[in-house]
Amino acid sequence: MTTDANDHDVLREQVALYAVGALDGPDRAAVESHLRQCDACAADLAAFRQVGGALAQAVPQHEPSPALRARVLAAAGRPERMRALPVVVPWLAAAAMLAVTAGLSVYVAQLRERVRSLELQLSDAILRVNEGERRVNVMLRASADLERRFDVISAPDVRRIELAGQPAAPSASARVFWSRSRGLVFTGSNLPKLPAGRIYQLWFVTTTAPVSAGLLNTDDSGRPIVLGTSPDIPTPIALAVTLEPEGGVLAPTGDKYLVGATQ
Amino acid sequence: MWLLAVLVKLGDAAAAEADRAAVSRMARGDRDALADVYDRHARLLYSLALRIVRQAADAEDVLQEVFAQVWRHAARYDVGRGTVIGWLVTLTRSRALDRLRRGRVRPQAAADEALAREVPDSSPGVDLALVSEERAAAVRSALEALPENQRVPLELAYYEGLSQSEIAAKLGVPLGTIKTRMRQALVRLRDAVAGQVR
């Protein structure tokens, strides 16, 4: 496809802008396409490319810092290289000495930068090790927790007790695995979020009086809570959960939230 | 040698050849070649980046991005497309303008993002060609001598990366007028490069 004379005139006007990188979008694509088939415009392009270069050279000149050189070379994944020092030519001896001094001071600056960079890497590495240790500890705790739960659930004397929501929390429910020898796993769901200064307390309801089985530090998602229970606790006829002041109480005082018979 | 090297001007044929050889060495993994190119051109590139982004820290980041890209893409450099310094100048302007535009939109988020991701090739277009110091000085004078209504649109386009429509809106001048003035300005600068003016 060729462009007609009309297009040529329009596009030739745009070549100057294209050459200095001031054209984008469809205009740029049209000029690029035209340049492939028009020698006159291609010749214009060469002249205007020099204007682009000259505009880059026309800015006030500033010296970049020596540290930048170290950064740039380090970013290419290599250790810092010494800048080449001058060959001492007799008639340039004095100038060469100055150059050596300048080269050395640059090198010293680069070494300083390198040391600083290594210090940063070291402190980063220490932080990573600490973070790694923290994660291992979290995993060890989680693993021990799982082991305890499994231990309770797989006990020969384990009993499963379903707890149903009461008028204070009709949609709540819970499941308890209880082994006299190994402890107790509590899994609650839909328990209302605890008000400030209050806590849920689990009770073993016996023929005589309720006995506390522990405080439930349950979270919003109803994560299972493992509780230790005393081996000499009387066999309960039911389990109940009440809302009590933080720290717990010796005998239930608050509303019942969950109740389930052990049979 | 070191002192003589300082005297070698940009655009000089020997320097252009040394640049090409250095890029070939980079393509073969020779990291000293990167240092050579840096030592020859960092001042010019840094000055251009600083003119565009205005902050020294940003200009340094731009240079780091440019040289990282040159190092990675050395093997793909096509010697037929122009001089290495032309390529470097084009890349530097393009990267600096990218940074300037991101800064205009969301300064902090953009900076974080730029650190976190690989910088894409934003297709800088045609490579620029450097001229002798003498010609550059002539262009500098010609630029300063341009009528303000021609100089300002050109500077907004070249150093701030604004499109012609954006320049027209910013200056409150019709788009057609902006196009004409920029074209006139560039023709005068082209003549200055060619030594036909003043």
Q: Identify the weakest region by mean pLDDT among A92-96, A250-254, B22-26, B117-121.
A: B117-121
Instruction: Please report the pLDDT score of residue A13 as a whole number.
Output: 80
Nearest to B16 by CA among B64, B87, B74, B66: B87
CB-side neighbour CA atoms (13 Å) of A157? 8
- A140 compared with B195, residue with greater pLDDT: A140
Tell me the average pLDDT across A137-153: 86
Contact yes or no for A21 and B38 at CB 8 A:
no
Average pLDDT, chain B: 79
Residue % of chain B over a pLDDT of 70: 79
- Closest chain A residue to B187, measured at CA: A16
* Site from A50, A98, A101 to mutate, B interface, most B CB atoms within 10 angstroms: A50
Statement: residue A260 has pLDDT above 80: yes
B194 interfaces chain A, CB cutoff of 8 Å: yes
Across A169-196, average pLDDT: 87
Distance from the Cα of B109 to chain A's closest Cα (Å) equals 22
User: Cβ separation of A51 and B190 shorter than 8 Å?
Assistant: yes
Own/partner pairs, A156-165, CB within 8 angstroms, 24+ separation: A157/A181, A158/A182, A159/A262, A161/A239, A161/A260, A161/A261, A161/A262, A162/A260, A163/A188, A163/A239, A163/A240, A163/A241, A163/A258, A163/A259, A163/A260, A164/A258, A164/A259, A164/A260, A165/A190, A165/A257, A165/A258
Q: Do B128 and A49 touch (CB under 8 A)?
A: yes
- Does residue A105 contact residue A145 with C-beta atoms inside 8 Å? no
Q: What is the pLDDT of residue A112?
A: 85
C-beta neighbour count of A47 within 10 angstroms: 18
CB A36 within 8 A of CB A67: no
Q: Which of A2-6, A118-122, A124-128, B37-41 has the lowest mean pLDDT?
A: A2-6
Q: Which 133-152 residues of chain B touch chain A by CB within 8 A?
A: 133, 135-136, 139-140, 143
Q: How far is B48 from chain A (nearest CA, A)?
A: 6
Measure CB to CB from residue A76 to each of B34, B130, B140 and give the nearest one: B34
Enter the pTM of the model.
Answer: 0.54
| Cα–Cα distance measured from residue B154 to residue B141, given in angstroms and rounded to the nearest whole number | 15
pLDDT tens-digit readout, A197-208 = 888 899 999 888
Interface test with A, best of B190, B196, B197 (most A CBs within 10 A): B190
Answer whether B30 touches A (CB < 8 Å). no
Measured in angstroms, the CA of A14 and the nearest CA of chain B are apart by 8
- Across residues A1-17, what is the average pLDDT? 73
* Pair B140, A58: CB distance under 8 Å: yes
B160-177: per-residue pLDDT in tens? 988 888 899 999 999 989
pLDDT given for residue A221 in this prediction:
55
What's the pLDDT score for residue A6?
66
Give the CA dihedral A18, B41, B7, B24, nearest 10 degrees: -90
The pLDDT of residue A238: 92
Mean per-residue pLDDT over chain A, rounded: 82
**At A40, is the pLDDT very low, low, confident or very high (cuts 50, 70, 90)?**
confident
CA of A76: which chain B residue's CA is closest?
A: B68
Confidence of residue A61 (pLDDT cuts 50, 70, 90): confident
Say which range, A40-49, B16-25, B99-108, has the weakest mean pLDDT.
B99-108
The pLDDT-based confidence of B127 (bands split at 50, 70, 90) is: low
% pLDDT > 90, chain B? 34
First CA to last CA across chain B, in angstroms?
Answer: 37
Q: What is the mean predicted confidence (pLDDT) over A223-241?
A: 75
CA angle A241, A247, A252 (to 5 degrees): 40
Contact: A54, B139; criterion CB under 8 Å: yes
Output the furthest CA–CA distance in chain A (Å, rounded): 112
Q: What single letter denotes the amino acid at residue B171?
A: L
- Judged against a pLDDT cut of 80, whether residue A167 lies above it is answered with yes
The closest CB to that of B193, out of A51, A60, A87, belongs to A51
Structure tokens at B127: 């490579």
Average confidence (pLDDT) over B49-70: 92
Q: How confident is the model at residue A95 (pLDDT cuts 50, 70, 90)?
A: confident
* CA max distance for chain B: 55
For A87, the closest chain B residue by CA position comes to B1
Question: Which of A72-81, A192-201, A234-243 has the least mean pLDDT?
Answer: A72-81
Non-local CB neighbours of A3 within 8 Å, separated by 6+ positions: A11, A34, A37, A38
More reliable by pLDDT, A122 or B7: A122
Which of A53, A60, A86 is nearest residue B47 as measured by Cβ atoms? Answer: A60
B46 versus A211: the higher-pLDDT residue is B46
